[in-house]
């Protein structure tokens, strides 16, 4: 999640950071829903610069829904400041009582669905106000079990220390839902690829699983010795050493077992974090942090492309586009009560100081199938037997009236900050880290902590 401030308010609002949703909203002070009573709310009493509009918005997620009115005020994210129009939620469904976030920060490519927020989005205003040099961001996710707490969100330019060599840039597939969608070249295990073709991957920082149509999921699990199937979910030996592979643009990327092995079920078996569920088209895969924890990913709006870098001990070169101003702030990943491995802190780079945030565990509720129009927000699958699966931000089969992700919960406990030396561009960089829960589900929920 990301910790931001609005207008003159000194209150921090924790927003779910979601690459598959383009709308930003926060719970409003006029909200009478039970969920709002357990979260920070924002309104005219908090900021004299807040301008409330008559325009309404309504969004349906994989789990839950929200509606309200639009408003405009200054957004403070790390040391960056820009004027933003966003949603003030007046009605929030009960599902949000289980989530620690006070709203959602949408960093998708832009959604044109009716009823959504049609004003310039976060990345738009940061670029037009010259707060960042390029309209792009990079994400590095680490694993909670590694104890590094160094997750990172870089605004304006990639952090070359997070990958080796050059980024592998892939053009995005055109769509109207604001998805970061790229072509999948193949999938399988090292030495035995499936030979699939025509598939695309929707990259979603708000989804902890990989969801794909059942036949594709079965074919992939057949490469894992000892797997079993129960409807859309699968079990695998908890001790499997089989590493999975996704190929993009002639390069193969490994998915470590620690990322796709979920919670213990029984008899030495664990749930699989790869689910046989069609969320959108018959050849579209929803690819969340199970994959993203294994790469450094860059989302470039201006060139309609996604860059993938292999994580190593240090960066060697910066590929093509670097911005003159960058910001780094850590994002905390969500915590859930389900079994699995979650992402640890993420940081955002911007001209600000370095921050670190450690979120405590939260609880995620089971999402129900829902038709959405924007951002793969999650319909998370029913877990096998005793395991519990938190919701992610994946939506199924978009409808024109809804958009966005189904959130995951997270809360932050401790924050440490230190001021780094100037970045190569001459701007100080800010790095905030977030530690995630012990679940494999929560990537998108990283909390971005910005402490001014």
SS3 289: helix
Res 328: pLDDT: 53
Res 312: pLDDT: 60
Among candidates 127, 123, 126, 119, which has minimal Cα distance to 109? 123
Among candidates 344, 345, 324, 356, which has minimal Cα distance to 420? 356
From residue 426, give the alpha-carbon distance in Å to each of 173, 327, 328.
35, 12, 14
Res 316: pLDDT: 40
Q: Which two tokens stand for residue 433?
A: 């880290």
The 10s digit of each residue's pLDDT in 136-174 is 999 998 788 888 878 888 999 999 999 999 999 999 999
88 forms bridges with which residues in the sheet?
26, 69
Domain positions in the chain are: 1-452
pTM above 0.85, yes or no: no
From residue 373, give the alpha-carbon distance in Å to each of 111, 267, 346, 370, 383.
8, 40, 27, 10, 25
User: CATH number of the domain at 1-452, please?
Assistant: 2.40.70.10
18 is catalytic: yes
**8 Å CB contact between 437 and 410:** yes
Res 301: pLDDT: 97
Res 110: pLDDT: 85
Instruction: Enumerate residues 6+ apart whose C-beta is below 8 A from 166.
Output: 309, 317, 319
Res 264: pLDDT: 96
Res 278: pLDDT: 95
Which of 18, 46, 111, 216 does the annotation list as catalytic?
18
Which of 46, 111, 150, 204 does the annotation list as catalytic?
204
Interior CA angle at 115 toward 441 and 281, to 5°?
50
Helix-, strand-, coil-residue percentages of the chain, each rounded to 5: 10, 40, 55
Sites in the chain below the pLDDT cut of 70: 62-63, 112-114, 312-452
- CA–CA separation, 17 and 204 (whole Å): 10
């Amino acid at each position: 999640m990301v910790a931001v401030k609005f207008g003159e308010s000194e209150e921090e609002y924790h927003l779910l950071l979601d690459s598959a949703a383009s709308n930003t909203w926060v719970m409003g002070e006029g909200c009478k829903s039970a969920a709002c009573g357990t979260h920070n709310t924002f309104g005219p009493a908090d900021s004299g610069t807040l301008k409330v509009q008559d325009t309404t918005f309504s969004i349906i997620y994989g789990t839950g829904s929200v509606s309200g009115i639009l408003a405009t005020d200054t957004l403070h994210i790390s040391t960056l400041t820009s004027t933003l129009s966003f949603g003030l939620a007046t009605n929030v469904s009960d599902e949000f009582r289980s989530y620690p976030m006070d709203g959602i920060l949408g960093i998708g490519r832009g959604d044109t669905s009716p009823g959504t927020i049609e004003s310039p989005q976060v990345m738009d205003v940061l670029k037009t106000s010259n707060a960042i040099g390029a309209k792009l961001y990079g994400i590095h996710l680490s694993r909670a079990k590694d104890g590094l707490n160094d997750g990172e969100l870089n605004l304006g330019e990639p952090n070359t220390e997070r990958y080796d060599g050059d980024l592998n840039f892939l053009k995005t597939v055109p769509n109207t839902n604001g998805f970061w969608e790229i072509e999948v070249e193949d999938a399988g295990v090292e030495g035995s690829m499936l030979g699939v073709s025509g598939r695309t991957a929707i990259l979603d920082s708000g989804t902890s699983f990989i969801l794909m149509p059942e036949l594709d999921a079965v074919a992939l699990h057949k490469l894992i010795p000892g797997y079993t199937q129960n409807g859309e979910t699968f079990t695998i030996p908890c001790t499997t050493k089989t590493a999975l592979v996704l190929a993009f643009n002639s390069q193969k990327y490994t998915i470590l077992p620690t990322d796709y092995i979920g919670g213990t079920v029984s008899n030495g078996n664990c749930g699989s974090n790869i689910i046989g569920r069609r969320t959108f088209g018959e050849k579209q895969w929803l690819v969340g942090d199970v994959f993203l924890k294994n790469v450094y990913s860059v989302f470039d709006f201006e060139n309609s492309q996604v860059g993938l870098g292999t994580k190593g001990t240090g960066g060697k070169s910066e590929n093509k586009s670097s911005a003159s101003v960058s910001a780094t702030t850590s994002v905390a990943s969500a915590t859930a009560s389900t079994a699995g491995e979650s992402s640890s802190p993420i940081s955002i780079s911007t001209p600000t100081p370095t921050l670190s945030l450690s979120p405590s565990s939260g609880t995620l509720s089971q999402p129900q199938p829902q038709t959405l129009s924007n951002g793969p927000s999650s319909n998370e699958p029913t877990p096998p037997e005793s395991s519990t699966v938190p919701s992610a931000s994946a939506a199924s089969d978009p409808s024109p009236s809804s958009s966005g992700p189904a959130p995951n919960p997270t809360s932050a406990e401790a924050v440490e900050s230190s001021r780094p030396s100037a970045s190569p561009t001459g701007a100080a960089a800010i790095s905030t880290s977030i530690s995630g829960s012990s679940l494999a589900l929560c990537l998108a929920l990283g909390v971005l902590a910005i402490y001014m």
